[in-house]
Amino acid sequence: MTKYYSENGAVLTLTRDQINEKYKWNLRDIYSSDDEWENNFAWVEISLGDYDNFRGKLKDSPQILLSCFQFDDEVGIKLERLYLYAMLNKDSDMSVSVYQAMDSRVKTLYSKVSAANSFINPELLKIPDEILLNMIHSLEGLKIYEHSVNELLRKKVHTLNKEEEEILAMAAEIAQIPHTSFSLFTNADMKFEKILDDNGNEIEISQSKFYASLYSPNREFRERSFKTYLKPFSEYAITLSSLFNGNLKVNIFNAKARKYSSAREAALDANNIPLSVYDNLVQAANDNLKPLHRWAELKKKMLKLNELHPYDVYVSLFSANESRKYQYDEGVEIVCNALQPLGSNYIESLKLAFNNRWIDIYESRSKKSGAYSSGTTFGVHPYVLLNWTDLLNDVFTLAHEMGHNMHSYFTGMNQPYPYANYSIFLAEVASTFNESLLLDYLISNSDSKENKLFLLEKYLNNITATFYRQTMFAEFEMNVYSRTENGEALTHDLLCNMYRDIYQKYWGPAMVIDKEEEYTWARVPHFYYNFYVYQYATGFAASEVLANKVKYEKKSAVDKYLLFLKSGSSDYSINILKNAGVDMNSSESVIAATKKMDQLLDEVEKLLI
Ligand SMILES: [Zn+2]
């Protein structure tokens, strides 16, 4: 669809104007013209001075407080809309400098707005709690702000006085150094050796080539690539462990300064997630490692290996019909069919997106690569960027991104502006939920044994990569922090041993670990994200439970799921999931994910007999 050839036969990608309008998103739903964008931009810039009407006066009356909140919302709504228009235009064609400029102008405007409204929270926190809550209850219009105000009060004990907050703000830049240095060192300074690729050509190994090589059926190449790529991480282990420790200490320092008992508690408190959710995830996964051990044994057997090594776990055991192409329209039809269990309301909303150009489908010259959903922008429907290449993977990407898109759409339609967004803890639930329904649909409709095995393997790999591997990382992360908080010094040898033990425990007796694998702690950027990875695992586990309920409990489960999509951030994430039907404080969700893995393995084994 999007490729054409030059006279010398080179593949060229179409320019944006060579693609039919109906396959491109309609950004006129945001602003009718660039001029309208400029007018709105100017409005926000001029209005910044109006914050002075409220400064120092918030305690004076509920009416002033309400006017301030409403004014701040109006600025926020305009700002997000300006940002959306600039970002989507920029990503459509990154060679157009006018949209690059609009994008950076709106980012500067963001900082001006946050400087202008930064007095609001400290001023609110100075009002005694009871008086502030009375003010909120005394005026109808203020009631929608109650949850935000409660959230502010909840964090009051961890908010410091003005001078201390200023010192922390000054330290924030220094606190970035370990992470920035890690990125620069591993991406810029570190040099990797050349190796022979699958076809005997010399290539310089890089992160993306390393990942790609792990899927190669050529085992010698996989091993060569694995050992060569990881070599510098072991050679620079002293520097890398110093950066790793530096990052731990930054987060421990911030947590202590804000009177948290641990870095983990501080990180989870941002979304009011109890520590028990994390503990429970790790414990329940540990109690249910058998399915992963079983998968490792099966891989070893199917690959006819004497020893299973870390570089053997990504290679496909089963292949599908590779010439099978999926046109975009067929992809849409498949996704709509797979999501039928969600009912007509969901499907109608999906069709709104498909029929009204919310999606930018095909690759074009200088368009941003990959795929994303734009999230909720109040008052406008959300958009999706794709780069469709007619592969089955594109169908999965479509289902995934439409999960985000519908979550944003339902939230935007049902929440007032302050809650028209959702936390990272919830973000991946709706997307993986759709992938799960799609896999089930494709598996039950597959036309051949080969195809079915291929899809079952895809599902098994999803559970391995998103659930088990991320829980393993989360457990490692928890352990390194608690040992540091207990005063232990984490040398590179200790980090290697800790990683090795945990990797062996998760993969079980079939796995034979090479020394190189132990340096995973030294190369994974997520270990610099401060207790982020556990959310991949909890999100996946939650979506498994919800997808199961929708499949088997039908109507009431669907209604609850739609309620989840509509909830935005109007309540704490844990409560929102609980209302949807999954209690993240129990091991139910973890067990659902591991049980699913066992069922899939049963199906695979049955087909192999
Ligand atoms: Zn996603």
596/435 Cα distance (integer angstroms): 14
Q: Which residue has the tokens 């690959």?
A: 303
Residue 552 has pLDDT above 50, yes or no: yes
The predicted structure's pLDDT at residue 33? 97
For residue 511, report the distance from its CA to the centre of ligand 1, in Å.
30
Nearest CA-CA partner of 298 in 516, 441, 456:
456
Q: Helices (DSSP H) in 219-261: which residue ranges?
A: 219-235, 237-257
> What is the rounded average pLDDT of the residues 330-339?
98
The predicted structure's pLDDT at residue 12? 57
Q: Which helix (H) or strand (E) holds 195?
A: strand 194-196
Residue 262 has pLDDT above 80, yes or no: yes
Domain 177-275+290-320+488-528 of CATH type 1.10.3720.10 = no
Average pLDDT, the chain: 94
> What is the rounded average pLDDT of the residues 505-512?
98
Q: How many residues does the chain have?
A: 609
Quickly state the pLDDT bin for 182 (edges 50, 70, 90): very high
For residue 529, report the distance from its CA to the centre of ligand 1, in Å.
17
Quickly state the pLDDT bin for 2 (edges 50, 70, 90): very low
For residue 225, report the distance from its CA to the centre of ligand 1, in Å.
29
Which residue ranges make up each domain of the chain? 31-159, 177-275+290-320+488-528
User: Which numeric CATH code is attached to 31-159?
Assistant: 1.20.140.70
> What is the rounded average pLDDT of the residues 127-152?
97
Half-sphere exposure at residue 510, Cβ-oriented, CA atoms within 13 angstroms = 23
The predicted structure's pLDDT at residue 170? 87
The predicted-structure confidence for 149-176, as pLDDT tens digits, reads as follows 999 999 999 999 888 988 988 898 899 9
- Residue 401 known to be catalytic: yes
As residues whose CB is below 5 A from the ion ligand 1, the structure lists 431
For residue 397, report the distance from its CA to the centre of ligand 1, in Å.
9
Residue 1 has pLDDT above 70, yes or no: no
195/300 Cα distance (integer angstroms): 26
The predicted-structure confidence for 188-200, as pLDDT tens digits, reads as follows 899 999 998 888 8
> What is the rounded average pLDDT of the residues 42-58?
97
For residue 335, report the distance from its CA to the centre of ligand 1, in Å.
16
The predicted structure's pLDDT at residue 418? 96
> What is the rounded average pLDDT of the residues 568-593?
94
* Cβ atoms within 10 Å, residue 409: 22
- Among the options 80, 363, 401, 477, which is catalytic? 401
580/571 Cα distance (integer angstroms): 12
384/377 Cα distance (integer angstroms): 13
Residue 9 has pLDDT above 60, yes or no: no
